[in-house]
Copies of this chain bind each other. A is one copy, B any other.
Amino acid sequence: MLQRAVEGLTWFVTKILNMEVLVKKHSTSLPPPSPSSSLSSETKDDDDNAYGLSWRLAVEANNVGPWRTVPARCYKHVQSYIMGGQYQNDVQLIADQILAYAFHIPLSSDGFDAWVFDVDDTCISNINFYKAHRFGCDPFDSGKFNEWMMKGACPAIPSVLGLFKKLIERGFKVFLLTGRDKATLGQITTLNLHSQGFVGYHRLILRRGEYKGESASKYKSEKRKEIESEGFRIWGNVGDQWSDLQGFSLGNRVFKLPNPMYFIR
């Protein structure tokens, strides 16, 4: 009985709502967005999201050549990827993969088992900067980015901080290898890392003057080669840029963290 009463009332309400639509359709005031235009805007959002997914996958698999800005139609997708939690999920799964690998490595007692991490968007995050620059859709502004780095306010990427600590606990010597300029950014970078919990690493390597203008790939390869020539065995090499993971002296395995916001050669 109750069910039928509800059905009857629902039918009645639906009828009245339809009448309201008819009244609106025939009014002379400015029409609201029509169902067809809102549908096509939804379709556009779906298309842009599908495109964003494809573009991001292609970037992470290194299929896209050097790129300067995120395509404008990927803005919403990248924003929701970064701010909606999936970026963090993706980093966590990779950190889990790294740990699973690291804990099967037969460590020597000589203290020469090493691990290399990049710094920006590997250990500490620049998302707060990129949030204000349309997640990489705006052209890169090196002046503003320098100002941002000088604040020393990059937060730790939690999954990577956890991984970093576990690798040190396990006995690896951790090297942090960054393209940041030693003269101008050395002190603030050290402070930023320490304040975020990155303590106990073996060495922080910043870019000295003689490597100015060198590609990240070549500069980092040469630094890793130096680490190896000291006798270290690089078991893992972790970065958010393919230029962290290409060249020579790469280490036994490389791990690419996601970064759909910018590209460094």
A residues at B contact (CB < 8 Å): 2-3, 5-6, 9-10, 12-13, 16-17, 19-20, 23, 50-51, 53-55, 57-58, 60-65, 85-86, 89-90, 92-94, 97, 100-101, 253-256, 258
Contact = CB atoms under 8 A, between A and B. Distances in A.
A258 B57 contact: yes
A64 B19 CA distance: 58
Contact of A255 (B20, B54, B63, B253): B63
A98 to B, nearest CB: 8
A73 to B, nearest CB: 12
A55 B92 CA distance: 10
Contacts of A12: 9
A6 B61 CA distance: 54
Contacts of A101: 65
Given A23-B2, A61-B256, A93 B17 contact: no
Contacts of A63: 94, 97, 255-256
Given A53-B86, A57-B258, A97-B65, A13 B3 contact: no
Nearest to A47: B89
A90 B57 contact: yes
Contacts of A23: 2
Contacts of A16: 2, 5-6, 9
Count of identical protomers in the assembly:
2
Contacts of A10: 13
Contact of A51 (B85, B93, B253, B255): B93
A120 B167 CA distance: 39
A13 B9 contact: yes
A1 to B, nearest CB: 11
Contacts of A2: 16, 19-20, 23
B58 A90 contact: yes
A86 to B, nearest CB: 6
Contact of A50 (B20, B86, B97): B86
Contacts of A93: 51, 54-55, 58
A27 to B, nearest CB: 12
A86 B9 contact: no
Given A2-B23, A61-B258, A63-B255, 12 more contacts: A6-B16, A9-B13, A50-B85, A50-B89, A51-B89, A53-B86, A54-B89, A54-B93, A57-B60, A58-B97, A61-B61, A65-B101
